[in-house]
Chains A and B, each alone.
Chain A
Amino acid sequence: MDLLVLFINAAVIAGTPYLFGTMGEILTEKSGNLNLGVEGMMFMGAIGGLLSVSLLESGLGVDVAPGLAVLLAVGVSFLAGAAGAFIYSVLVVTFRTQQNVTGLALTIFGVGLGNFLGDFFGRRSDTGIVRISARAGAGFSRLDIPVLSDIPYIGPLFFNYNILVYLGIAMAIVLALFFKYTRIGLNLRAVGENPAAADAASIPVAKYKYAATCIGGGICGIGGMYIIMVTTAGGVWIHNVVAGFGWTSVALVIFASWSPRRAILGSMIFGALRVMPFYFPANQLITVGFISFTMPNIPMQFYAMLPYAMTIFVLIFTSIRPNRETNPPGGLGVNYFREDR
C-alpha cells in the first residue's frame, strides 16, 4: 500500500487519544474549571478499562466477546475518569481550592493509582501481567467493513480504523453541536464565561460545573483506555503507559481554541507530527505518488518539540487578532463565590 496512506492511518490512530483528552478538557474548561489532571484521569481510565475486561475474564474463566469487551471498557474507563474528575469537582467547586494545584494533585494521584493497580494485579496473576484475551482484544482492532473497506484508497483512509476512532470523532461533532445549538450547552458556556451572570439567570452554576467536569473527565478516561487497548497494542498493562498524552492534550485545548471541531483537526495534526519521523525517515528516497524526495536527518527531539512550538504559534496568532471565538472562557480558572458578587 502507498506509504502516504499508511502514514495517514498511523497519524489518525496516534491522534485519537489526544482527541479524547482534548474533548474532555474542552468540556471541562467550558464550565470554567481548568482541570490539569488530564494525565491522571487518563491513567485511571486506562487501568479501569483494562481491569474491567481482564478481571471479568479471569473471574469467569472465559474469553469475553469483542463487542462486550468494547462496551465494558468504554463504560468503566468513562466511570474511572469521571471518578477522578469528581474528586476534582468536590475540591474545586464545593471547597473552592486553587484549581491548578488541585489539577496537578489529581495528576499525581491518577498516575500513581494507575501504575499501582496495574503492577499489583500483574504480580497477582499467573502470567505476571494484566492482559485481555485475544478474543476480547479483537474488538479494538481495525474494522473490516464489507465493500467500504475494500474501495482502493478511500477504504483504507476512511473505513479501516478501530471503532473507538469513529466514537471519538462522533463525540466531537456531537459536542460541537451541543455547545452551539442546545439550551444546556449555551447555559454551560454562560457558566464558564460569567458564572455570576449565569447565576443571576437562575442557572445552577455548581451543578453545571460538576456535570461538565465529571463528563469531561470520563471522556479523558476513554482516551487513556484507548492508549492501553490500541496505541501500545493489545490490552496489556505496561508501566507508565500514558506517558505524557494528557499534558499534550492540555496543550491541544489551546491549539484548538476551545472548539471541538478544531480539536479533531488538531489532534490529527499532533498525531501526524508524532509518527512523521518514522514514515518519512532520513536519507531514504521516499516516493509519494509522483514525487520523490529525501528527508534530511532531523533529530527525534525536534519532532517531539513541534506540537508545543505550534501551540505557541497559535497562541501568538490568536492574541494578535483578538476574536471572541478563540478566547478562553471568561471565568476559566476562577472559582465562583456567590457571596463575592
Chain B
Amino acid sequence: MTIDAGEMALVYLHCECYKNVTLDKLHKRWLEMRKVFYSAILLLAGVFFMSACGGNNDDERQEVTFENVRLAFIHPGNIYDRGYTYRQHDGTLAMAAALGIDPETQIRNFWTRLSPDEVTTSIEEAIAWGADMIFATSFGHGPPMLEAARNNPDIMFHHATGNLAVDANLPNFHNYFGNMSQARYMSGIAAGLRTETNVLGFVAAHPNSEVITGLTAFFLGAQSVNPDVRMYVQFMGVWNNPTLESQIAQALIDQGADVLGQHADSPATQLVAQENGVWSVGYNNCVIAEAPDATLVAPMFVWEIYLNEAVRNFVEGRGNPTDFIRGWNEGMVVLSDFNTNTIAPGTVEAVVTAEAQIRAGRNVFTGPIYGYRNIGPQAWSDTPEQLLAPGEEWIEPMSAPSWAHRVSGIIFLN
C-alpha cells in the first residue's frame, strides 16, 4: 500500500475525526474520494487563472474627474476614538462635500490599520478597488506607503505626519502635516494660567519627535504666561489605549499635576481630570460633553485644507508638493471653542495676544530656550545648556515635526 502526501493529509484528518477507523478503511475512502479532491483542485486553479487574466482589462484609464476619482484612506484608529481619527474623517467628509465627491462610492476607509503588513494589505485592497489617491494618516504607515509608491508609479500616495518623502523624492509620494506647535502653544497658555499647583501633567503616546515637539510647544505656551510652571510627561508606547491613558492621568494627578495635556487618541485623560476635579486640555476634539468641568480647550487639525488642495491639484492635472505644511494662518490648525466654565480669567485675552504675534510670524520655538540636547540618557544630565540663543529661531526643516530636545522644566518620567 503506497501513500502519497495528499493521502497522508487526509489520513491525518480522518484519524482526528474517526479515531477507530483502520488505515485500510481510510485508504479505501481515499480511493473513493480522490477524484473529487483532484477535480476541486483543478477547479480552483481554473478560477484563479481566469481571475488573474480578467484583472488586467482596465489598462486604459478614463480621464479622472471629480465624479470618478477614487480615494482611499488608511487610518490608525476609527472615528469612534473621538480624537485623532475622528478629526481626520471630519476632514475627509468636508473635502468630499466641497469638491462634490460622493463619500459612499468614491471614498473607501480602512480603519485601525497599524502594523506594516496590515497597511500593505490595505494598499493592495485599495489598488484593486481602483484608488487613484491613497492617504495614510499615521506616522508608522510611512515605510509600507513608500514601498507601494515605488511599485505603483501611477497612483498618488499621501502620508500625513510622515518624514520619508523628501529623501525618497518620488513624484507620487507626498508628506503633509499642519504646524500643530502653534495651536499647542496657545492651548498651553490656557493651561499655564489655570494651574494652581504650577505642575502640569502630559499623557504622551510614543516618545517620538512628533509628540515631543507638540508637548514642548504646549509647555512653552504655559511657560510664557507662568514662568514657575513644571510639566511631568509619561509616555505610553501606544497611540490609543484608554485604560493606560486613564491610569497614567490618575498617577500624574496623584503626583501633583492639576492641568493635564494629552497626545493620545482617546478622551480618557479628560474624563479622569473631570473625575478628580482638576483641569485638562484635549487634543483634536473638544470633549465638553464628556468632561464639562475639566476640559479647557483643545488644539485641532483641519485636514480638509490639505485634502481639498491635493485632490483638486490631482484631478486638474497639476502636481502636488512633495512636502506640505500649513499652519495657523492658513487655518490648518485651530483651537476649539473655549470652555467658558473652566478657563481662568484672562485666558482669552492672553491667547488673543499670542495669536496676533503668531499671525505676524512669531516662531513658537524662539530663544532663549534652555534644556538638554536630544532625548536619551544625556537628557537627564544636571546642567541645562542653551538650546536657542535669545532671539534665535528654530525653523522646522520639513513638515514632520522634529524637535527632540528636553526643555528645562519638562520632566520625562520614563
Contact = CB atoms under 8 A, between A and B. Distances in A.
Q: Do A and B come from one complex?
A: yes
Interface in A291-341: 297-301, 304
Given A131-B290, A241-B242, A232 B268 contact: yes
A92 to B, nearest CB: 18
A40 to B, nearest CB: 17
A164 to B, nearest CB: 15
Interface string B234-249: 1111001111011110
Contacts of A119: 80
Interface residues of B, number: 38
Given A277-B414, A281-B413, A299-B414, A231 B237 contact: no
A245 B246 CA distance: 14
B414 A122 contact: no
A239 interface: yes
B104 interface: no
B237 A300 contact: yes
Given A129-B289, A241-B243, A284-B411, A10 B254 contact: yes
Interface string B245-268: 111101110110000000000111
B368 to A, nearest CB: 25
B242 A234 contact: no
A105 interface: no
A240 B242 contact: yes
Nearest to A241: B242
Interface in A192-231: 227, 231
A129 B82 contact: yes
B414 A233 contact: no
Contact of B242 (A243, A277, A297): A243
Given A239-B80, A300-B235, A6 B254 contact: yes
Nearest to A235: B271
Interface string A96-140: 000000000000000000010011001000011101000000000
A300 B80 CA distance: 26
Given A6-B254, A10-B250, A283 B81 contact: no
Interface string A261-278: 000000000000011011
Contact of B272 (A3, A115, A233, A279): A233
A231 B243 contact: yes
A278 B80 contact: no
Nearest to A6: B254
B275 interface: yes
Nearest to B276: A233
A171 interface: no
Contacts of A236: 267, 271, 290
Given A128-B289, A131-B290, A233-B271, A284 B235 contact: no
A234 B269 CA distance: 11
B414 A282 contact: yes
Contacts of A284: 411, 413
A72 interface: no
B246 A233 contact: yes
Given A131-B290, A234-B275, A243 B235 contact: no
Interface string B383-414: 00000000000000000000000000001111
A14 B272 CA distance: 14
Contacts of A115: 80
A232 B411 contact: no
Given A10-B250, A233-B271, A281-B234, A227 B243 contact: yes
Interface string B261-292: 00000111001101100000000000001100
Nearest to B285: A128
B272 to A, nearest CB: 5
A238 B242 contact: yes
Interface centre among B81, B236, B243 (most CB of A within 10 A): B243
A112 B45 CA distance: 35
Contacts of B252: 278
A52 interface: no
A238 B267 contact: yes
B241 A10 contact: no
A47 B241 CA distance: 18
A3 B411 CA distance: 18
A61 B411 CA distance: 46
Given A238-B268, A300-B414, A245 B243 contact: yes
A149 interface: no
Contacts of A275: 247, 251
B38 interface: no
A141 interface: yes
Given A141-B275, A236-B271, A284-B413, A279 B251 contact: yes
A234 B232 CA distance: 24
A278 B271 contact: no
A233 B275 contact: yes
B129 interface: no
Given A129-B290, A299-B414, A243 B241 contact: yes
A240 B240 CA distance: 9
A297 B240 CA distance: 22
Contacts of B271: 232-234, 236
A317 B58 CA distance: 63
Contacts of A6: 254
Contacts of A227: 243
A115 B289 CA distance: 20
B247 A10 contact: yes
A324 B274 CA distance: 49
B258 to A, nearest CB: 15
A278 B248 contact: yes
A53 to B, nearest CB: 16
A75 to B, nearest CB: 24
Nearest to B273: A233
A277 B236 CA distance: 10
B339 to A, nearest CB: 14
Closest 6 CB pairs of A and B: A278-B251, A281-B413, A239-B80, A127-B289, A233-B271, A238-B242
Interface of B: 77-78, 80-82, 232, 234-237, 240-243, 245-248, 250-252, 254-255, 266-268, 271-272, 274-275, 289-290, 377, 380, 411-414
Given A6-B254, A231-B246, A238-B242, 17 more contacts: A10-B247, A118-B80, A131-B289, A227-B243, A233-B271, A234-B271, A234-B275, A239-B78, A239-B82, A275-B251, A277-B234, A278-B413, A279-B254, A299-B414, A300-B235, A300-B236, A300-B414
7 contacts: A119-B80, A231-B246, A231-B247, A234-B275, A238-B268, A239-B81, A297-B377
